Structure formats: structure tokens, C-alpha cells
Structure 1
Amino acid sequence: MYITITPQKLGGNYSQSSAGFVSYLEKENEGVAEGAKEHFFNQYEDAITPEKVVKEIDNNTTKLKKKEPKFYSITVSPSKYELKRLQNSSKDLQKYTRDLMKDYVACFNREIDGRPINIDDIKYYAKIEHSRNFKGTDRQVRENQPYATKILELKSEVRKIETGLMQGSIEKREKQIEKLEARAPHRQDGKRIVQGMLKAGNQSHIHIIVSRKDASNSVSLSPGSKYKASEVNFNGKTVKRGFDRDRFFEKAEKTFDKTFGYQRNFVETYTARKEFIKNPNYYFTALMGLPANEKALAFKLIRESGIPMMPSIPTSQAQLALKIFNRLKKGVAVAVKSSSIGI
């Protein structure tokens, strides 16, 4: 499972309205029959209109400056293995979202009127989506790009030859294009994966819009705070502050596993992904120490999803971890391949 928490930013300033983001999240409903549409929901209500979401979020921004986020976007992307545990993607993910947002508020080191914040203190709206497109940043698209670039060049040459702007063999270039198409490392349904292509399989995921201000529009609650848990003196009064992201990500996994009876592999955990970067030797020691079945599954997961790296990691550390991974992968691949374990 991958979870991101981001402020919606345009250029140097943050979005002053949620309208654009809400409109973007409505894209899957275009041309869909009313009964099949996915609607916004919150902790207690279903089928909330986009207009109400925009109004509630945009009117809950008292005293926030232009350079401060008005709302945050939380995206929750379960893996295909996690999604297999669901009986009904929409209903199950809606239930999980409501439990997840209880985990979210529990990770704030804040108080309102002398008590810890609770689920009723936040204003959020969520929506389930079931499709995804390949982005330019996806590994498959990036690794296919050199082939795509050369194919584009050859097609351009074919058009020039056809219009008399260039001399050469069209047949030769078409054969080169055919070979490049076949050599591209990543394909889906027989076609080279390109940016914008719909991803196959169950792609259900969750988008959550959460207001920066609490439900009373008086207290600022920022999951982007750099403070995990601390206290500060403000106008002669001790005030708690901070949001523990690590705790939130870990609680999110545990809640999913408990709710759906999911047996999480070591390499799927947020803790393991952090260790991969911070302490690669420990990561691989733990990986090699897994029971045979779990180890085989772990390497299958790694092969399918790529190196489990966290975002915003210093390049030098990532390169170090990658070197260690490549060195160990060769020996381990032989062991996994020679085992009698079927996955």
C-alpha cells in the first residue's frame, strides 16, 4: 500500500479553491449512468455532491494566507494483492477510509479545548476511483522511453519520405519500428506501455480531500507539519503541535490488515521501505532471514513493483541501496528459482 499526503499547490501559491481538484476527481463519472457513479462521502454521509464538497472546503479557510495550504490531498493506493482481499471494492474501501481517518486524527499531537482531537473535529471528503493511467514517472513508461523516442523519430522519417522531403526506404524504417516495438521491455495486452494508457486489472484507490482547518474553522491542523510531537509556548500558553506521519502510515497498514485479514509480507511494510533507504544492510539481512515461502513472495513483489524506495530520498543513499540490491539479487534469484515454492 502506498499513501501520499500532499498540499495542492499551483506555482508559488497554494490553490485558493478546491474546485479544480474536485472536478478532476469527477472525471471517472463522465458518461457513466447515475447508478454506477462513485460519489463523494465523509464519515457519516454518502452520495455528497461535488458542489457541496467545494463549498464546505472553500468556506473553511479562515485566517489562512495565500502561501498556506487550504486543504490536503491524501491518496491511498492498495496493491493488487491487497485488493484481492476485498469482497466489494467500493463498499470495503469506503469502510476502510472511515477507519483510516480515525487513525489520521489519532496521529495529531493537538488538543481542542483541552481534549485530544477526534474524528468529528476534521472536515474531509473522500472518493473511490477504479481506474488509473500510466504516468510519465511510472517505471514502465520511463524504461520504454528510449524505444518510444526512436520509434517517433523513425515515424517522422517515414512521413518525410512519403511527402518527398527526404530520401530513403520506408520499408526499412517500418521493419526497424517493428523490431523496436518488440524489444520494448514493458507491454500490456500485447502493446507497448505508453504514457496515458489505462492500467489493466483492479486499480481501485482512494482520494481524500481534508481541510487544513478543523470543522469549527478555528484550529489549524496540518499533516504537513515537520514536528512529530512537541510543545511550544504561545502567548504564555503551552500548546501541543505536530503530526506523526510514520505512525499514520504504520497504523494505516495495521487497520487494513485487521479489517480484511491480510497477511502483509515484510517488503510490503512501510517500515521495510524506510529501512531499505536508511539501513540497507539491515533490510537485506531481514529479507534473507524470512521463511522460504515469505522470501519467495518477497522477491516476486520486488520484481513486480521495482525497488521499494520512498519518495524524496537523497540520490546518494538510493544509489548505495541500489548497488547492494543488485549485488545480492543475483545470488538470491538463483535460490528462489531453484526452490520448489510455487507462487
Structure 2
Amino acid sequence: MYITVTAQKLGGDYSQSSAGFVEYLEKENQGLEQEDIEHFFNQYGDEINASEVVKEIDGNTSKLKKKEPKFYSITVSPSKHELRKLQNSGEDLKRYTRAIMKDYASAFNREINGKQVTVDDIKYYAKIEHQRTFKGTDNQVRENQPFATKILKLKNEIRQIKQGQQEGSIKRLESKINRLEKEAPHQQNGKRIVQGMNKEGNQSHIHIIVSRKDMSDSVSLSPGSKYKASDVMLDGKLVKRGFDRDSFFAKAEKTFDSTFSYKRNYAESYQSKKDFIKNPKRYFSTLLGLPTSEKAVAFKILGKAGVPLNSIPTNKVQLALKTIRYLKRGVDIAIKSGSIGI
């Protein structure tokens, strides 16, 4: 599971309207028949059109300053292992979205009219997408990059020959390009994987637009708060403030596991990412201490994410600091690319 919570920006400024983001999320609907269109939905409604989403989000921003986020984007990307557990990815992910938005609400240490924030206070709209593209940070793109660089250089030479700027055999250069295309280590359907290429297989994921203000447009609920859930005395009153992302991420993972009876391996857990960041030695020690079958699954997950498995120590004695630092770089890249972790 890979979850992000971000304020939407346009360049260096916060977006003043959700229209551009909503339009971006409509891209998969282009050219589809009416019955195939993927609509927006929220906690209690389905088949909500894009214009209503823009109207509701943009009209729920009273007293927010120009330099404050008007809405946030939550992206939820289940792994291939998790998606296989779903019976109907579209409907199951809708059900999961509605469940984790309860987790989202509970992560706020806030009260509205003396009551703890609930999902009924959250104005949000979600959409299921079924396509994902390769990013520049993906292992496949990075390892194919040297080949891409050589191919680009050869194509530039061909262009210069055609323009009469240099002499050479176009046929010979095209032959080199074809060879490099085939030699690139990562292929999909017989083609070299490049940034922007659609990923094959089930790529279903969730985009959620969340208003900064509550349903009544009177209370600011920011998941980007610099304060973790805490209570503080202000003007002689005890005030609740903050948003606990750690709690939200952990609950979202548990909600998926309980909803779909998913048996999560340590290597794909939120706890493993926290261990990796705070205590790499504990992370690798835990990996080595897993039962044989679970350890085999963990190594398979890490291997597919681009971690150099041939360098992972076989016993705890080998967990030298130098080795940990080397392995940490590999796992770090995998986490940043969204291959593992939250």
C-alpha cells in the first residue's frame, strides 16, 4: 500500500480552484461510452459528475487565505499483491475508500461543536483510476536510462545526417538503435520500458479530493498541520489541535487487511517502513528473523522493488554498518518509487 497526502499546488502557489485537478482525474474517461465512465463518489453518493465536485470544493473555502491550501489530495495505491485479493476492484476500492475516510476523520485531534470529528464532517470526492504510468524514479526506468541515452544520441546523429550536417550510414545507426532497444533490461510487451508508459496488469488506485474546510464550511481541517495530535492551552482554554498521519496510515493498512482478509508480510507493512527509517539495523534484523516461508516472500517483494538481494546478509553477524548503509540506499529508492511501503 502506498498512500500520500498532499496540498495541491500550481507552480509555487496553492491552487485556488479544484477545476484543473478534477480535469486531470477525468483523463481516463475520454473516449469512453457513458456506461463505461468512472464517476466521482463520496461517503454516501455515487455517480457524481465533475462539475458538481468543482462547485462543492471551490465553494467550501470561506475565510481561507490565498496562501493557504483550499483542498488536499489523497492518493491510495494498493500493491499488486493487495489488488489480487479484491473480487471486484472498482466496487471493493469504493468500499475501502469509505472505510479509510473514517480513519482519516479519526486522525484529527479536533472537535466540532464539542464532538470529535467524524467522516460526516469531511467534504470529499473520490475517483477510481485503472491505469498507472512508469515514473522516472521507478527501478525499470532508471536501469533502462543508459540505453535511452545512447538511443537518443544515435537518433540525433540520424537527424543531423538527414539535414546534411554530417555524413554517415543511417541504416547502420538504425540497426544500433534496434539492438539497444532489445538489450535494455526491462521490457513490457516487447518494448523498452520508458517514463510515461502505461503499466500492464491491474493498476487500480484511488484519488481523493478533500476540502480544507469541514462540511459546514466553518472549521478548518488540515491534514498538513505542523502539529501532531495534541492538546494545548490557549487563552486559558484547553484546545485540541493537529492531525496524526502516523495513526491514519497505520489504520488504513489495518482496515485493508481486515476488510479483505489480507495476510500482510513484514516487508510490505507500514511498520517495516518506520523501522527502516528510524532503525535500519532493526529492519534488517527483523527480516532475517522471519519464519522461512515469510522471509522468502519478503525477499521476493524486495527483489521486485529493486533491492539488491545478493547483498542482503544471511545472518545477523553480517549486519555491519557499511552493509546496512548500502542496502538502505536500495530500499530507500524502492520506497520513494512507491513500490513498497506507505
TM-score w.r.t. length of structure 1: 0.88
Indicate the residue corresponding to 1:136 in structure 2: 136
- What are structure 1's unaligned runs of at least 5 residues? 309-318, 329-343
1:256 positional shift: 0.3
Indicate the residue corresponding to 2:251 in structure 1: 251
Looking at structure 2, the residues matched to 34 and 171 of structure 1 have their Cα atoms a distance apart, in angstroms, of: 47
For 2:185, the aligned partner's letter is P
How has the CA–CA distance of structure 1 residues 149 and 327 changed in structure 2, closer, same or farther, with 3 Å as cutoff?
closer
Indicate the residue corresponding to 2:316 in structure 1: none
Paired residues of 1:231 and 1:238 also in contact (CA < 8 A): yes
How has the CA–CA distance of structure 1 residues 85 and 116 changed in structure 2, closer, same or farther, with 3 Å as cutoff?
same
How has the CA–CA distance of structure 1 residues 116 and 185 changed in structure 2, closer, same or farther, with 3 Å as cutoff?
same
Looking at structure 1, the residues matched to 199 and 265 of structure 2 have their Cα atoms a distance apart, in angstroms, of: 24
- Equivalent residue pairs, number: 318
How has the CA–CA distance of structure 1 residues 22 and 226 changed in structure 2, closer, same or farther, with 3 Å as cutoff?
same
Q: Which moved more, 1:157-166 or 1:282-291?
A: 157-166
Q: Deviations over 1:93-147 (max 9, x none)?
A: 0000000000001111111111111111110000000011222332322222221
Over the residues paired in the alignment, what is the CA RMSD in angstroms? Answer: 1.9
Paired residues of 2:154 and 2:177 also in contact (CA < 8 A): yes
1:326 positional shift: 8.2
Paired residues of 1:77 and 1:204 also in contact (CA < 8 A): yes
Whether 1:293 and 2:293 are equivalent positions in the alignment is yes
1:320 positional shift: 7.8
For 1:114, the aligned partner's letter is G
1:22 positional shift: 0.4
- Equivalent residue runs for 1:318-333 within 5 Å: 321-324=324-327
Indicate the residue corresponding to 1:314 in structure 2: none
Q: Deviations over 1:9-40 (max 9, x none)?
A: 11232000000000100111111111111100
Paired residues of 2:222 and 2:243 also in contact (CA < 8 A): yes
Q: Which moved more, 1:176-185 or 1:46-55?
A: 176-185
Q: Does the residue aligned with 1:74 lie in a helix, a strand or coil?
A: strand
1:327 positional shift: 11
Indicate the residue corresponding to 2:220 in structure 1: 220
Indicate the residue corresponding to 2:44 in structure 1: 44
- What are structure 2's unaligned runs of at least 5 residues? 309-321, 332-342
1:196 positional shift: 1.8
For 1:100, the aligned partner's letter is I
1:169 positional shift: 2.7
How has the CA–CA distance of structure 1 residues 320 and 218 changed in structure 2, closer, same or farther, with 3 Å as cutoff?
farther
For 2:95, the aligned partner's letter is K
Looking at structure 2, the residues matched to 271 and 115 of structure 1 have their Cα atoms a distance apart, in angstroms, of: 31
Indicate the residue corresponding to 1:28 in structure 2: 28
Q: Deviations over 1:22-74 (max 9, x none)?
A: 01001111111111111000000000011110011001001111111000000
Q: Deviations over 1:79-102 (max 9, x none)?
A: 011000111011000000000000
Looking at structure 2, the residues matched to 276 and 325 of structure 1 have their Cα atoms a distance apart, in angstroms, of: 8
1:265 positional shift: 0.5
For 1:269, the aligned partner's letter is S
Indicate the residue corresponding to 1:237 in structure 2: 237
Q: Which moved more, 1:44-53 or 1:228-237?
A: 228-237
Looking at structure 2, the residues matched to 171 and 14 of structure 1 have their Cα atoms a distance apart, in angstroms, of: 51
Q: What is the percent sequence identity of the aligned residues?
A: 67
Following TM superposition, where does structure 1 have runs of at least 4 consecutive aligned residues deviating by more than 6 angstroms? Answer: none
How has the CA–CA distance of structure 1 residues 320 and 208 changed in structure 2, closer, same or farther, with 3 Å as cutoff?
farther
For 1:213, the aligned partner's letter is K
Q: Does the residue aligned with 2:68 lie in a helix, a strand or coil?
A: coil
Q: Does the residue aligned with 2:218 lie in a helix, a strand or coil?
A: coil
1:278 positional shift: 1.7
Paired residues of 2:307 and 2:330 also in contact (CA < 8 A): no
Q: Which moved more, 1:220-229 or 1:45-54?
A: 220-229
- Equivalent residue runs for 1:51-66 within 5 Å: 51-66=51-66
Q: Deviations over 1:281-308 (max 9, x none)?
A: 1001000011111111111111112349
Paired residues of 2:307 and 2:327 also in contact (CA < 8 A): no
TM-score w.r.t. length of structure 2: 0.89
